[in-house]
Amino acid sequence: MIRPQFFYDTLASYGIDFYAGVPDSLLKNLCAYITDHADVTHNIIAANEGGAMGLAAGHYLATSKIPVVYMQNSGEGNIINPLASLTDPDVYNIPVLLVIGWRGKPGVHDEPQHVKQGKVTTGLLNVMGIDYTVLSKDEDKAVGQINKAVTFMQTTKQCYALVIEKDTFDTYTLQNVEKNDLTMSREEAIQTVAAALGDKDVIVSTTGMISRELFEYRTVMNQGHERDFLTVGSMGHASQIALGIALAKTERKVWCFDGDGASIMHMGSMAIVAQKAPGNYVHVVFNNGAHDSVGGQPTVGLNINLPAVASAVGYNNVYSVESKDRLEELLEKLKEIEGPVFLEVKVKKGNRKDLGRPTTTPIQNKEALMAFLKD
């Protein structure tokens, strides 16, 4: 395995010391090491991977130094546009070292949302004309690969990708964890909101633990899963899926269970929800100030005023709560309130270690929800 420190120091020996990206579970140890060791101007946890490419390009323009963008392969979709129209040799020809976690690698079992992305990970790089290598798990070999990558980028000024398989990086535990006084767990908050919903209400939940915790809640309560659309992939788009449903089914209340990382990833979508003004829409953001599902790296979620953003773009009513009592009170009140409503629930980081994963397939989930919506 490669020690995160070894990888970081090897890049530093080439003068590579600027990082931007969105964390990934396969890169958890590396992302944690970068978070702890690069200062705040040299590691930017971006809103989305496309934004990270912009940051990297800006850094290169200002310093002539090769930057790094780290991401899960799910983020490839978000970087295709900057790769084609910003860094490509046909446009500005800007070198960026891409470090891409390879979820869903063919032959390695993974969750359904990673299967397709895993199959096309290297194909997308090929089609975009990005030279790449799968990083060896052996430090001596990795050094040679990094040297080749850097020489290539220095000579051609083009991007280069290091594709990272599962278990490439050795363990490193994030030290730099911001302390706060939040006491409610995300799971408790999810259970509290889900318990207050009407029989015909629908939930669209976001990527990661939020959907997993909602799924487990239904199982434990002996309820079906047909009322919940689990957005297992497509991070940042749950609010628009919910909007699509809410506009077509005006007699149903539609709840979006969002994360801070996910809502910030495509924050502009909040403006579209607000301006379409669905009276039957409630946008709940479980804000733990972290990308908890992939290792707990910080987001800006707890430093910004999300309800104020929602209010500024036109949500009808906005709230922020951090205690269970207040949440329960508010949920009672929401029954009478016209949407679109924005509700921030501030929660502490962390999850149950024995949390399961959805046992139904995405297709089963979709079909059950569509049948439920027909009723």
Query: Which residues of the shown chain bind ligand TPP in the complex (CB under 6 A)?
Result: 22-24, 72, 74-75, 78, 186, 206-210, 235, 259-262, 288, 290-294, 299
**Helices marked H in 174-276:** 186-195, 209-220, 238-248, 260-265, 268-276
- Looking at beta carbons only, is 50 or 67 nearer to ligand TPP? 50
Q: Which residue number has the CB closest to ligand TPP?
A: 259
- Looking at beta carbons only, is 150 or 209 nearer to ligand TPP? 209
Tell the residue number behind the tokens 């801070």, with chain if given: 260
Shortest Cβ distance from residue 246 to ligand TPP (Å)? Answer: 20
Shortest Cβ distance from residue 207 to ligand TPP (Å)? Answer: 5
Shortest Cβ distance from residue 199 to ligand TPP (Å)? Answer: 27
Shortest Cβ distance from residue 91 to ligand TPP (Å)? Answer: 23
Tell the residue number behind the tokens 């804000």, with chain if given: 287
CA-CA distances (angstroms) from residue 56 to 83, 99, 155, 253?
12, 13, 18, 41
Beta strands in 288-358 (DSSP E): 290-291, 297-298, 317-321, 341-346
- Looking at beta carbons only, is 35 or 293 nearer to ligand TPP? 293
Shortest Cβ distance from residue 117 to ligand TPP (Å)? Answer: 9
- Looking at beta carbons only, is 95 or 261 nearer to ligand TPP? 261
- Looking at beta carbons only, is 24 or 228 nearer to ligand TPP? 24
226-250 core/surface letters (b: 16 or more CB in 10 A; e: else) = bbbbbbbbbbbbbbbbbbebbeebe
What is the CA 212 to chain-centroid distance, rounded?
Answer: 14
The H or E element spanning position 21 is: strand 19-21
- Looking at beta carbons only, is 48 or 87 nearer to ligand TPP? 48
Shortest Cβ distance from residue 181 to ligand TPP (Å)? Answer: 18
Of 359, 348, 355, 277, nearest to 310 by C-alpha is: 277
